[in-house]
Structure 1
Amino acid sequence: MANIRLISSSSVCAANHKKPNLRIDLTPWDLQLFLVDSIQKGLLFHKPKPPDNEELENTNFNSIINHLKTSLSRTLDFFPPLSGRFATTEHDDNTVSFFIDCNNAGAEFIHAVAEGVSIADIIEPIYVPKIVYSFFPLNGVRNHEGTSKPLLAVQVTELVDGIFIGCTINHTVADGSSFWHFFNSWSEISRGLNCLSKPPLLQRWFVRNTDCPVRIPLLTNEQLYNRFVPPLLQQRVFHFTRENIAKLKAKANAEIGTNKISSLQALLSHFWRSAIRNKHLDPNEEINYRMLIGARQRLQAQLQAEYFGNAVQTGTVAMKAGEVVEKGLGYVALQMNKMVAVHTEEKLMNFLKSWTDSPKLITMDSVVTNALVTSSSPRFNIYGNDFGWGKPIAVRSGPGNKFDGKITVFPGEEEGSVDIEACLSPETLQGMANDADLMEAVIN
């Protein structure tokens, strides 16, 4: 498949930088992500049609690029952290603290062309083609590099008949909710809105009596430069309709005589069971399912939906491989339900307090041991991102934080449907493709 040709690269700053001295201290939720990769998500669109239905000339596409740059600049007025950089303060006790210096150093904007690549080349293959990773900027850049690298980078890649807008945001600055809040806001400004429907709340939230800034031990060279190298992996997007998800939910609840199990818990349990069946593990081997649990709705008195930053907690279900396979969908989903339920306000607050006393940074090596890890959410507003030429037709993620077992959940294009982007070994994915129990619920 064709390579990517770079057309231009430039820095985009906020159009009206009103808070040049704004400093934003980082919370434990933010700081724990310093050693992993950025968030990388992107949207695929049909190429806009000119009014006269003639072929879209380069000059016309350049006007689209200029429009996106201008609207991005105006959007950064509302999101000053994204045009800033990290700054550090070293302390006498061999600790360091970090904050976002909203200095308007600028976001990166790249215009590229994937010559000969069409929309069909991206969405029709069974496995996500590797060229998709080339649609994202700042590949291989980890969050701690935000002292010198942009905290936001955008790449607009022109296809034969489409446009892919790939966005990379430093994960220490934003979680998935904040990522899509920014993306939604940019599309609003691009459509001509003068103000945002949901302005972000920029002030970081800390547990009462937290010493700010939060200090962490000085980072060692081994921590900064040790790179996780995943094995050979492939990605496939599995599509589940609203009707099939409802059937899974009904089945899970019926098996254990309850109505507690949610649609998402039933779906993820169904998917986990298939993955474990096709990994052919020792039945007595302990395995984990980890998922990111949103804290905004669990700390409603302190956090609003528009809170801009990280507000997620990792929850883990630990079971033996044999239990996952043999005990049924309902049993597995119930364990997931119990795990989510224990993440109360008290548990979240205790985590933040204890982390401040004893900071522990997440590394890829610590995440990937015998685990499936789910990120993102089917509740994010992905298909509402209309930049002025129609809604997207697909969403894909970049290479950041990918390993054998990374499961990314997106809303499907049809209301109530869900897409699961699974990053697994080729052998596991092939086994799942032949798994009748799984594929009965999948729309190819």
Structure 2
Amino acid sequence: MAKKVELISSSLVSATATAASMSRLELNPWDLKMLSAFTIKRGLIFHRPHFQSQQNLIQHLQNSLSRALDFFPPLAGRLAATPHAGETASFFVDCNNAGAEFTHAVAAAVSISDIIEPRYLPEIVSSLFPISIGVHNYQGTSKPLLAVQVTELADGLFIGCAANHVVVDDTSFWHFFNSWSEISRGSESISKSPIFDRCNTTAAAAVDNRLIHIPTLEKNLIAPSRLRQKVFHFSKEKLFQLKAKAKSEAGTEKISTLQALIAHLWRSTVRSQIANNYPTTGVLKIVIGARARMLSLPDGYFGNALCSAALAIGEGELLQKGLGATALRINEVISAQSEEAMARDAEKKVEFRQMEVGVGSAPPLIIAESHRYDVYGCDFGWGKPIAVRSKKDQIFDGSVAVFPAAEAGGIDLDVCLKEETLRAMEEFLHQ
């Protein structure tokens, strides 16, 4: 039997509340920077739930999604734009309860092993995510800001979720996913309420920053990639060894597990590129969350709260000075992201630029997401997920997503690079 996904039904799911708790969500520069980027698309794989019927399962998930949207009214709304002079517009979220899209699909010949065991992420995974939501975030004016696809597998279930990055970052994305699973388990409320108040949106400068030049959106879109995507797994024991080695070489205790792992990944990437006579990656960019660094941001802040830090190291220094030296440089760059630096970034004027790569250089290695997200706490009532996967149309050469592994203490890296580089990395990463 051919491995394909059959779409059974699709509908809009609105919040149960007759009147939304908020009518409009203002957007700050952090949010607006995401207009030309891709939507966030993540999915969870589960063992097959025990429900009386297929329809009972789908109805249960639709009902719980509807009740979850009561707590997250922007996700049931639409992006709106107010035109201004000079081909500019200001954007906000109209919390009109137009609904999130819910799609039911069946992939009867696709098993869990077909998704998690292949060497590279199989093409079928792309079909497990909703296709109706806009690929780019600015399309949220006519597309849902949240879309869900529940696909029944031969021996399991895949819940794929797509959310507009203007409204959520990855922290907020998993906040919603966890809250929906709480409602699905039977809770009448959620353990962490979202806070939608945007910081720095009352100042005149911030208001000016919300005026976006429309032509910029069309000229500087990031093109989807068709590169290979592979998930590298690191056990708790392997991570302990990497961290111990990095700290020993650097002569310091302040290097974290993730910093040691990123250093190892970067050095392995460059070694693999050299082995294939490719240009080497001399720049590392790390997406850093602001919630833990800015006292003005509450834990439940729902929106975008992140900035990026860059580090450039030549291949000679990167490989000759060792793991510890690289990890220490990464630690210093991350430590420099103070509350003041984050606040300045939040107030920067919104400008969209194409990624520039120097002649003879590879694109930067970009590290996003976090192993601290409660991915495996998304229990909808039939047990924790088996694995997490992301949709490949939002990745590009050098993109790396960090996820917690299924077993406690482990980390999975979802890496997109040229296939030859990935193949060589299989050897270098596990030395």
- Would you say same fold, with TM above 0.5? yes
For the 8 Å contact 2:281–2:365, the answer to whether it is kept is no
Shift of residue 39, structure 1, vs aligned partner: 0.4
Give 2:371's aligned residue: 378
Shift of residue 326, structure 1, vs aligned partner: 1.9
Distance in 1, matches of 2:78 and 2:58, equals 24
Distance in 1, matches of 2:204 and 2:332, equals 30
Shift of residue 38, structure 1, vs aligned partner: 0.3
Give 1:325's aligned residue: 319
Distance in 2, matches of 1:246 and 1:208, equals 46
Identify the range of structure 1 (32-41 vs 225-234) with the bigger mean alpha-carbon deviation: 225-234
Shift of residue 217, structure 1, vs aligned partner: 3.5
Shift of residue 237, structure 1, vs aligned partner: 1.1
For the 8 Å contact 2:20–2:70, the answer to whether it is kept is no
> What residue ranges of structure 2 are gaps of 5+ in the alignment?
none
Give 2:194's aligned residue: 200
Give 1:247's aligned residue: 241
**Residue 403 of structure 2: SS of its match in structure 1?**
strand
Give a deviation string over 1:190-228, Cα, whole Å, max 9, x none. Answer: 0000011101111222166344544334211x7327654
Cα 1:341–1:395, aligned 2, differ >3 Å: closer, same or farther? same
**Residue 428 of structure 1: SS of its match in structure 2?**
helix
Shift of residue 363, structure 1, vs aligned partner: 4.7
Cα 1:426–1:344, aligned 2, differ >3 Å: closer, same or farther? same
**Residue 205 of structure 1: SS of its match in structure 2?**
coil
* Aligned sequence identity (%): 48
Shift of residue 250, structure 1, vs aligned partner: 1.0
Give 2:46's aligned residue: 45
With normalisation by structure 2, the TM-score equals 0.93
Give a deviation string over 1:348-399, Cα, whole Å, max 9, x none. Answer: 122223x23xx21255668996211111100000111111111100000012
Alignment of 1:45-444 (within 5 A): 45-49=46-50, 60-138=53-131, 141-206=135-200, 209-211=203-205, 213=207, 214-220=209-215, 223-224=217-218, 228-229=222-223, 232-280=226-274, 287-300=282-295, 302-353=296-347, 355-356=348-349, 359-361=350-352, 363=354, 370-435=363-428, 438-440=429-431
Cα 1:68–1:225, aligned 2, differ >3 Å: closer, same or farther? farther
Shift of residue 238, structure 1, vs aligned partner: 1.1
Identify the range of structure 1 (109-118 vs 74-83) with the bigger mean alpha-carbon deviation: 109-118
Cα 1:364–1:110, aligned 2, differ >3 Å: closer, same or farther? farther
Shift of residue 115, structure 1, vs aligned partner: 2.5
Shift of residue 324, structure 1, vs aligned partner: 1.6
Distance in 2, matches of 1:106 and 1:417, equals 37
Cα 1:75–1:275, aligned 2, differ >3 Å: closer, same or farther? same
Aligned residue type for 1:26? L
Distance in 2, matches of 1:323 and 1:3, equals 48
For the 8 Å contact 2:30–2:304, the answer to whether it is kept is yes
For the 8 Å contact 1:190–1:387, the answer to whether it is kept is yes
1:36 and 2:21 matched: no
Distance in 2, matches of 1:143 and 1:121, equals 30
Cα 1:194–1:363, aligned 2, differ >3 Å: closer, same or farther? farther
Aligned residue type for 2:85? D
RMSD over aligned CA atoms reads 2.2
Distance in 2, matches of 1:9 and 1:369, equals 41
**Residue 380 of structure 1: SS of its match in structure 2?**
coil
Cα 1:364–1:193, aligned 2, differ >3 Å: closer, same or farther? farther
For the 8 Å contact 1:31–1:361, the answer to whether it is kept is no
Aligned residue type for 1:258? T
For the 8 Å contact 1:202–1:308, the answer to whether it is kept is yes
For the 8 Å contact 2:65–2:180, the answer to whether it is kept is yes
Shift of residue 434, structure 1, vs aligned partner: 2.7
Cα 1:303–1:227, aligned 2, differ >3 Å: closer, same or farther? closer
Distance in 2, matches of 1:226 and 1:297, equals 31
Number of matched pairs: 425
Distance in 2, matches of 1:230 and 1:104, equals 30
Aligned residue type for 1:409? V
**Residue 93 of structure 2: SS of its match in structure 1?**
strand
> What residue ranges of structure 1 are gaps of 5+ in the alignment?
51-55
Give a deviation string over 1:399-441, Cα, whole Å, max 9, x none. Answer: 2421111111100111111011111111001111232xx213x
Cα 1:362–1:322, aligned 2, differ >3 Å: closer, same or farther? same
Cα 1:332–1:194, aligned 2, differ >3 Å: closer, same or farther? same
Distance in 2, matches of 1:365 and 1:45, equals 40
Give a deviation string over 1:25-44, Cα, whole Å, max 9, x none. Answer: 11111101110110000100
Give a deviation string over 1:271-297, Cα, whole Å, max 9, x none. Answer: 111011111288996721111101011
Distance in 2, matches of 1:284 and 1:131, equals 31
**Residue 18 of structure 1: SS of its match in structure 2?**
coil
Identify the range of structure 1 (208-217 vs 383-392) with the bigger mean alpha-carbon deviation: 208-217
